[in-house]
Amino acid sequence: MPRYAIDAVATTFCALVALCSAQVPYLPGPGCFTVAQSVPGWPRATVWMSCPRCRYNIEHGGSNEVELSSVTDIEALIIAAESGFDVMYSSNIPYSSNISARGSTTNKLWYGYNLKGTAYPFTADEKYDNASIECYQEEQQDGGLWIRVDPKRDEFIFLPTRVRDVLIHTVQNNMGHCLVNLVSAKTDEQMDALLNGMAKDQRTNVLVELVKAALLSSIVFLPELSVAAPMLGRAITACGTLCETANGYMRKALKDPEELKGVIAGLSQQCADNAAAQTSFAEKEAQFATDSAKYFLQQWEDHEDMRRATLQSATNQWLYLLQEVYSTASSSRSNCTVDGAAGVMHAFMKNAQSVNDFYARTGTRHDRPPVNWGEFEGICKVDGDWYYAKWEYSYSSGQDCHETITDKHEQIEPEYLEMAMNAAPSGANPCRDDSFLCRAPLEGGSSRRLFFI
């Protein structure tokens, strides 16, 4: 019998972990085998028994059922592991009725169940019923049954299809409300003021950086764990009995947010991949943009569509956190509140203006002897931190070389340091002082773009 096909490397669990004979008393059928599925970027392997062309016979539509479509095999396994499924199986469905969020077709519909088993593997649990396994059904021709081997995660959240669908709908609504707060009349005024009179190539790069800042900043990225922990904690508390196990875990995790790393691992990478794809497209579109506000609005809507497309494959924990990340409620710590969105946009405009003010001027005073001088607006590292700053140097043959920071401005926030670094690629240091770390743009412009894309 052919092994069940998955689109990442699956290896026999017994070959990876010396626990096979102790933890797996038997396999439920002659065609079953145990696999450990490793997922790039995911902190832990998911371990399952796989029984190709089989299913676990449970009546559909119950309160303990999750139905998953538009997800890959790997995504289904991740959701199952993080949600506390005991068993799940896939069935064939017509291609035309299930178009995946990524634009590709899939012919599988997944059914997952929490049968309230506690033993691991589930085959050792009193709630396991070997007679419920049915094999060689026509609809299982290219699908199969997966049975839990791992212990259930302490933080698992099992949501039946109806509740999961409501949560996805809430995240989508919050996204739309966040957009309203983000793109306001005040934002239009700020953009107009920043871009007015700017050269076309600089204007293009500023627009791209604006999209990059919005998509890659904490508007859509997860906030720091110290912020994410209470946000997720509030959501899980509101979840009630369905999240009872996770609620107990969160009470402990709130005291040490580092515990949450495994829970939300992968979401930041998914956000980064989406944003990278979007900013690549934004770079091309910015060259033809005539209305900065409309351009930004379109880019955000495109990103929103991309994010919506990934919600079906999000774990329940991710969905609860995204619900809070996009929340516009004034009590939320989200950057999508009226004040939060205004603050993020103001921070971008302020940093973009600082970078736009960079310059480099050099020359020679025809004294005796001649004095070479340079005056710059750029960035300097002071006591371990980078600042926007003005600096200068002067030197002449036979005389001492002098360089000094004449005006230290504001410290550069971490999310804007890359933008500033790439806008100031030159580090002129004629005095050869290794402790003097300042950078500025190339004098007179160059083929290098002012802003990093």
Inside any domain, residue 345? yes
Residues 116 and 223 grouped into a single domain: no
First CA to last CA distance, the chain: 50
Q: Which residue has the tokens 């804007």?
A: 416
**CA 152/CA 64 separation, integer angstroms:** 16
Inside any domain, residue 126? yes
Residue 431: HSE in the Cβ half-sphere, 13 Å Cα cutoff: 18
Question: CB within 8 A of 215, min separation 6: which ones?
Answer: 274, 275, 278, 279, 299, 300, 303
Q: Which of 336, 355, 374 is the last residue of a domain?
A: 355
Q: What are phi and psi of 353, to 5 degrees?
A: -70, -40
Q: Which DSSP string do the residues of 100-151 spell out, in sequence order?
A: -TTS-B--EEEEEE-----SSSGGGSTT--GGGEEES-GGGTT-EEEEE-SP
**CA 229/CA 250 separation, integer angstroms:** 8
Helix (H) or strand (E) holding 176: helix 161-182
Query: pLDDT at position 2, please?
Result: 35
- Which residue, 426, 437, 360, 369, is CA-closest to 403? 437
Inside any domain, residue 4? no
Strand partners, 362: 374
Inside any domain, residue 86? yes
How many C-beta atoms lie closer than 10 Å to residue 127's C-beta?
Answer: 11
- Mean pLDDT of successive 10-residue segments in the chain (453 residues)? 33 34 52 78 79 88 88 88 93 52 58 93 93 78 85 92 94 86 69 71 70 60 78 89 90 85 77 71 67 69 80 92 88 83 79 86 86 92 94 79 91 84 77 85 53 24
* Domain with 335 in it: 161-355
Q: Which of 355, 371, 399 is the last residue of a domain?
A: 355
Residues 56 and 167 grouped into a single domain: no
Strand partners, 301: none
Q: What are phi and psi of 69, to 5 degrees?
A: -130, 170
Six token digits for residue 416 = 């804007």
Residues 265 and 345 grouped into a single domain: yes
Residues 126 and 54 grouped into a single domain: yes
Domain count, the chain: 3
Query: pLDDT at position 451, please?
Result: 27
Residues 173 and 296 grouped into a single domain: yes
**CA 46/CA 39 separation, integer angstroms:** 8
**CA 217/CA 349 separation, integer angstroms:** 14
Q: Which of 296, 320, 355 is the last residue of a domain?
A: 355
For the chain, the 3-state helix, strand and coil shares in percent, each to the nearest 5, are 45, 20, 40
**CA 75/CA 81 separation, integer angstroms:** 10
Distances (CA, A) of 111 to 71, 159, 312, 343: 12, 12, 14, 43
pTM for the structure as a whole: 0.75
For 357-438, where are the alpha helices, taking DSSP H only? 414-423
Residues 342 and 361 grouped into a single domain: no
Residues 212 and 320 grouped into a single domain: yes
Distances (CA, A) of 221 to 81, 275, 321, 326, 433: 23, 9, 11, 10, 39
Six token digits for residue 226 = 């110290």
Query: pLDDT at position 441, please?
Result: 86
Residues 344 and 208 grouped into a single domain: yes
**CA 1/CA 92 separation, integer angstroms:** 18
Residues 292 and 404 grouped into a single domain: no
Query: pLDDT at position 98, please?
Result: 40
Inside any domain, residue 155? no
Residues 208 and 173 grouped into a single domain: yes
Strand partners, 133: 56
Residues 252 and 401 grouped into a single domain: no
- Which residue, 424, 366, 374, is CA-closest to 401? 374
Residues 100 and 230 grouped into a single domain: no
Query: pLDDT at position 18, please?
Result: 30
